[in-house]
Amino acid sequence: DTEVTQTPKHLVMGMTNKKSLKCEQHMGHRAMYWYKQKAKKPPELMFVYSYEKLSINESVPSRFSPECPNSSLLNLHLHALQPEDSALYLCASSQRTVLSSGNTIYFGEGSWLTVV
């Protein structure tokens, strides 16, 4: 069972809507991530937060706006999305950003987003 909780599990939004995806972990992890996954494709990294600061933005369009209010929460604000943005959005966390022995990345179950 994952200890990374994502809400909502499903979201349908229009292209003019503003919505948010939320992610929460209580494992004391200091690194949190957003990934995007299209159907039949592997997950692709979008953003990385380390100690509540944005450390990596993989050239994601500005219509996606991440926010890390505290070490346990990660939000992804969505505005003016396009139908091609429909995908599974995965949140993940790890003790630190550097991958090393014992520093595993744990994923949530994802939020299915449909843009109409």
Partner 1 sequence: DAKTTQPTSMDCAEGRAANLPCNHSTISGNEYVYWYRQIHSQGPQYIIHGLKNNETNEMASLIITEDRKSSTLILPHATLRDTAVYYCIVRASPSGSARQLTFGSGTQLTVLP
Residues lying near partner 1 in the complex (CB under 8 A) are found at: 2, 4, 31, 33, 42-45, 48, 50, 55-56, 88, 90, 92, 97-101, 104-110
Q: How far is the CB of 3 from partner 1 (least distance, A)?
A: 11
| Cα separation, 83 vs 31, whole angstroms | 30
Q: Which is nearer to partner 1, 36 or 64 (CB)?
A: 36
| Cα separation, 107 vs 116, whole angstroms | 27
Tracing tokens 């604000």 back to the chain, one arrives at 77
Q: How far is the CB of 88 from partner 1 (least distance, A)?
A: 8
Q: Which is nearer to partner 1, 79 or 112 (CB)?
A: 112
Tokens of 63: 């219509």
Across 51-107, where does the E strand assignment appear? 53-57, 64-70, 73-79, 87-94, 106-107
Q: Which is nearer to partner 1, 80 or 88 (CB)?
A: 88
